[in-house]
Structure 1
Amino acid sequence: MMKANAVSDQHYVHSELRERIVEHMFVGEALRTLWRRNITDVALLRSQFDAGGYDLVMSHGAIVRHIQLKVSVEGGKRASVTASLKLMEKPSGCILWIVVPEDLEFRSFLWYGNEPAEPSAVKPPSLLR
């Protein structure tokens, strides 16, 4: 028999896997939304490691977004996120914080950034609460 907090334990033990799953879901949903709007000339790049402060780069025409993804479980302990200050070096850098329930369906999105081509608006993590 499964103990009552088995799902919560799973989120803790496999947090990196959970974040990769949510990232793939986000990319798929974003590309599907653009497809429905007849936008098909989108480039998507994934950082192999987080040396530049971002996880994804999405571009369409002259708009380029360096995106740092954050994932948390609804009702979890995480009340804030940390952000790499290197993201400030990127034009249009932004943070997308995705909140999911235990079944990993999208619950809410918190976005922090400026208009395209504007300097990144990333500030110390206390402002991301």
Structure 2
Amino acid sequence: MAEAFKFELVSPERLLVSEDVESVVVPGADGEMTVMAKHAPVMTTVQPGVVTVKTAAGKSDRYVVFGGFADILPEACTLLAESATHVDDIDREALTRRIQDAREDVSDAKNEEVRTRAEAYLAQLTTLERAILPA
């Protein structure tokens, strides 16, 4: 059995998770990263994606996050999300609206830098949609 560490997932609205866990998969700036006890200290931005939490009791939960950052220490991990919800509670219409807004941001981009960021965000959202919602 893997060693447990403290994990907290916080959104502006509420504290979603605060418990001892075995591992957390975080959609970090450079791709997904698995955090376990005694992880080297890291701070990373969080991309839109799914956070998978495996509790010390062996239960697995998934949460959808839209941005934020994670502070990872050997004894704890805190993920401060711009927006977060349990996968079971995801609102397909809200996700569709976010994707439509991102498409409009791509179309309305004033320069190449803004367009590139908007296209990256749109790609993350559509990948997320495919990962969590059945067709």
Q: In which range does the TM-score fall when normalised by the shorter chain?
A: under 0.3
- Calculate the TM-score normalised by the size of structure 2: 0.25
More strand by share: 2
